[in-house]
Amino acid sequence: MHVAAVVLAALVLFGYGMYPVPAGAAGEVGLVKVVKGVASAQTDGEDPRLLAQQSPIYRSDTLITGKKSFLIVNLDDGSAITLRSDSRLKVADYSREAGDEKALIELGKGGLRMLTGAIGRLRPENVSVRTRVASIGIRGTDFIVRICGPGECEQAGAASTVLPARRVAGSVLDHEGQVAAAAGRRWRALGGREPVLAGDTIVTAPGSRAIIGFEDGTRVVLDQSTVFNIVNYRYRGVDVEENGFVMRLREGSMRVLAGDIARTDPDRFTLDLENATVLVDRPGIEFEVAQRSPSTVRPTGGEPVRILSGGNRYDAVAGRTYRFESAGQAPGSYPSTTSLLDGGATDTVAAVLAQAEGGEDRAGAGGADRGESPDASGPGPSASEREDVYVSVRDGSVGVQNEATGEDLTLIQGQAAGVNRSGSAIIPEPPIISQDPVLNIDLDRIDVNDVNMGDAVGDENTCQA
């Protein structure tokens, strides 16, 4: 029996059929221009159907390409979509109605290249491609989107984790128990040497703690049951005016040793409490703060600490603890050598770091493995939720929004970005895009015989889809 007949018989046996006109025919939005290998479409509520050249595509269709297959679809507004092997795409919404022109494409797996048409020119704000991790807004363009799930694409040179280098503020030097961070709605567990980002909220669970080291030399010790926010962090080198570090302690207690950013300007190194703000103007200044009720500050080094509350400034000196019941009210102070940290007989960050130096990651049996988070933070993403999305612009521009962190990037011609639930970054175009023969088909001069499908779907030297 001919190979094509065998494939067709198998597809019919497993529930596929040739349905040229499903019940949703009124929603026809385009035609298949090129199909190589096996591809199918399924309209919501209908049986799947095999695709051939000139097969119609309907609104709400889900398109699927098999191994060593690809598909090129022309939508009726002049848009062209190339779908690589082992991919899944849904035409989630589409309309050419005057005044309501729109096109929403959902990419669930694999990769696509899209050249936008009339809708993109008339109403670019109504054209978008969505994945679980990122939304790509179109501004009249030619662009590529590629999804890499766990374990995919690694042999093609794609990074397994995209972290935005421009936002990395420091890393975890040591921790005990459960510690997690989020720069948006998604939490990630933190272990030894894990990066922390500007914008992160860091949470320690009961019985846990963390020591965070920042690029300018600042060190912080987070006590148990603490919620700490890196509001803003920028470090470009010693004595650079653009440096800045803004922290906020929302709950719990912590110890701080100021680094190089503190030498720039006292208003550029600050820590906010509910009723007071600590201002630091020199590296090496060390202090403790607690945000329970009230806001409390305790200098632990020899230098005084400047505090702003309700427009008034106060100098807090070592050996005393200062309590701010409300903003603007003069603090109460009293002699004290007792640490504000629950754990705490240790009075200096240096002593805590000395204990941690050379030590192993002490999460132990009760620690947080990747994918877990403290009880207070809610569940973190499981391994199955982790995927990277890569976007590359060949012409025009796109806006890329990270669904987890809320970050927005604008990419222009020649730029690429990587996005996952940890962050977003502009990066060089990865090989999984630049070396993919399907995603690089010239839509003006298509010759499918020139496409090496072994390279398109991957072997031991290329992308593993």
- Please report which helix (H) or strand (E) contains residue 169, including its range: strand 168-176
Reply yes or no on whether the pLDDT at 353 is more than 50: no
Reply yes or no on whether the pLDDT at 65 is more than 80: yes
**pLDDT classification of 138: cutoffs 50, 70, 90:** confident
Q: How confident is the model at residue 159, as a pLDDT?
A: 46
CA distance 380 to 395: 37
Q: How confident is the model at residue 38, as a pLDDT?
A: 94
Q: How confident is the model at residue 240, as a pLDDT?
A: 77
Q: How confident is the model at residue 185, as a pLDDT?
A: 59
CA distance 412 to 423: 19
Task: Look at strands 127-130 and 102-109 and give their pairing.
Answer: parallel
Q: How confident is the model at residue 293, as a pLDDT?
A: 78
Task: Look at strands 102-109 and 56-58 and give their pairing.
Answer: unpaired
User: Highest mean pLDDT range out of 26-30, 118-122, 150-154?
Assistant: 118-122
**pLDDT classification of 444: cutoffs 50, 70, 90:** low
Given a contact cutoff of 8 angstroms between Cβ atoms, the answer to whether 269 and 279 are in contact is yes
List pLDDT tens digits, range 82-114: 999 999 999 999 999 998 999 999 999 999 999
User: Mean per-residue pLDDT for 51-77?
Assistant: 95
Q: How confident is the model at residue 226, as a pLDDT?
A: 93
Q: How confident is the model at residue 182, as a pLDDT?
A: 79
List pLDDT tens digits, range 25-63: 458 999 999 999 999 999 888 889 999 999 999 999 999
Given a contact cutoff of 8 angstroms between Cβ atoms, the answer to whether 456 and 68 are in contact is yes
User: Mean per-residue pLDDT for 423-449?
Assistant: 80
CA distance 7 to 23: 25
User: Which one has a higher pLDDT value, 443 or 360?
Assistant: 443
CA distance 189 to 383: 12
Going by the DSSP 8-state scheme, the letter that residue 17 receives in this structure is B
Going by the DSSP 8-state scheme, the letter that residue 46 receives in this structure is S
User: At residue 441, what is the residue type?
Assistant: I
Q: How confident is the model at residue 373, as a pLDDT?
A: 31
Q: Model's pTM, two decimal places?
A: 0.52
**pLDDT classification of 362: cutoffs 50, 70, 90:** very low
**What are the residue ranges spanned by the domains of the chain?**
3-159+386-457, 168-377
Reply yes or no on whether the pLDDT at 383 is more than 50: no
Given a contact cutoff of 8 angstroms between Cβ atoms, the answer to whether 422 and 388 are in contact is no
What phi and psi values does residue 162 have, to the nearest 5 degrees?
Answer: -100, 115
Which of these, 341, 369, 347, lies nearest to 302 by C-alpha position? Answer: 347
Reply yes or no on whether the pLDDT at 358 is more than 60: no
How is the beta sheet containing 127-130 ordered, strand by strand? 49-50, 39-42, 62-65, 88-95, 102-109, 127-130, 134-138, 397-402, 408-412
Report the mean per-residue pLDDT for the chain: 79
Domains 3-159+386-457 and 168-377 share a fold: yes
User: Which one has a higher pLDDT value, 456 or 449?
Assistant: 449
Pick the CATH number of 168-377 from 2.60.120.1440, 1.20.1250.30, 3.60.20.10, 2.60.40.1080: 2.60.120.1440
For 23-37, 388-402, 425-439, which range has the lowest pLDDT when averaged over its residues?
Answer: 23-37
Reply yes or no on whether the pLDDT at 21 is more than 80: no
**pLDDT classification of 363: cutoffs 50, 70, 90:** very low
Q: Is 263 helix (H, G, I), strand (E, B) or coil?
A: helix
Pick the CATH number of 3-159+386-457 from 2.60.120.1440, 1.20.1260.10, 1.20.1630.10, 3.40.50.720: 2.60.120.1440
List pLDDT tens digits, range 289-318: 999 878 999 999 878 899 999 889 999 998
For 12-16, 133-137, 316-320, 349-353, which range has the lowest pLDDT when averaged over its residues?
Answer: 12-16
**pLDDT classification of 374: cutoffs 50, 70, 90:** very low
Reply yes or no on whether the pLDDT at 453 is more than 90: no
**pLDDT classification of 140: cutoffs 50, 70, 90:** low
Q: How confident is the model at residue 60, as a pLDDT?
A: 93
Percent of the chain with pLDDT over 90: 45
Which neighbouring-strand residues pair with 388?
A: 148
Q: How confident is the model at residue 194, as a pLDDT?
A: 83
Q: Which two tokens stand for residue 398?
A: 């796109």
Going by the DSSP 8-state scheme, the letter that residue 353 receives in this structure is H
Q: How confident is the model at residue 259, as a pLDDT?
A: 92
User: At residue 278, what is the residue type?
Assistant: V
